[in-house]
Amino acid sequence: MDDETFLEETFQLRTDYIPLCDLLKYCSITESGGEAKHLIAEGNVLVDGDVELRKTAKIRPGQIVSGLDFQIHVVAAP
């Protein structure tokens, strides 16, 4: 894996939670919600190190969402 293609990002959450498919779209991991749902359904997305197959899983501050070429740290907005 090339370090230049690995995305590491911190996402500031302004609500209680964000659906997993929306997080992937907002962070530009996927170009659309449909693409995000497909990525999740294939088992290519981990939440806190475990495969997550629920497209609308509630992602909350403190969780880490990752995949082959990305890692998103979700934190509460100040």
Extents of the domains making up the chain: 7-76
| pLDDT for residue 5 | 81
| pLDDT for residue 1 | 41
What three-state secondary structure class fits 66?
strand
In degrees rounded to 5, what are phi and psi of residue 34? -65, -40
Residue with tokens 């197959």: 53
Q: Is 46 left (phi over 0), alpha (psi -120 to 50) or beta?
A: beta
| pLDDT for residue 4 | 62
> What is the block-wise mean pLDDT of the chain (78 residues), using blocks of 10 residues?
75 98 97 96 98 98 97 96
What three-state secondary structure class fits 41?
helix
Q: Which residues contact 58 (CB under 8 A, 6 or more apart)?
A: 16, 17, 18, 19, 20
| pLDDT for residue 29 | 96
The CATH number given to 7-76 is 3.10.290.10
